Amino acid sequence: MYEEIVRARGHENVSAEHASTFEVTSDDWLTPAGDCILAVEADRVPADFSAEFVEACRDAEATIAATVEVETDDGETHRERIEGRGHPDLTFEGDRSHVGRTSDYADDRTVLVDAAAAAADFDREMVEALAAGGEVTLTLRVE
């Protein structure tokens, strides 16, 4: 099993309404048009991940689990776990953002394909915590 952890934060413009992707970006800003973005100011990007992790993710049979945790100012924690799969075309060369996709499309930002859920499927209380600027931990695990 391989694992990578990314820390980020929510943003007031998080709406999590996109029906086919979810994203965590290293950008420090978010416009209302970014309806797939869950968090900003990620401390790591796909290009930072270990070669072993990347290689494991390139196996089409690999299960990749993305766990998003948000901690609110009052100490409450919200958690969502989304499973997808690996793909031979995953490069992890992206230097800006991590994208989970419900389709099998893969580019340099894609961290998993065939995701069981997208931004629009996230619990709305969690989305409120993200919009309030909560501290975010994205854990990607290859199983």
CATH number of the domain at 39, please: 2.60.120.630
In a domain, 97, yes or no: yes
pLDDT for 35: 97
pLDDT tens-digit series, residues 53-100? 999 999 999 999 999 999 988 889 999 999 999 999 999 999 999 999
With tokens 């990620």, the residue in question is 42
The pLDDT of residue 116 is above 90: yes
Contact 10, 39 (CB under 8 A): yes
State the pLDDT at residue 73.
Answer: 83
Decide: pTM greater than 0.85: yes
Range of the domain at 99: 2-115+131-142
Count of structural domains within the chain: 1
Please give the pLDDT value at position 20. 98
**C-alpha closest to that of 24 among 106, 121, 139:** 139
Q: Determine the Cα–Cα distance for residues 77 and 91; give it in Å rounded to an integer.
A: 32
User: In degrees to the nearest 10, what's the CA dihedral of 124, 94, 116, 105?
Assistant: 130
Alpha-helix residue ranges (DSSP H) falling in 33-74? 51-57
Q: Is residue 120 part of a domain?
A: no
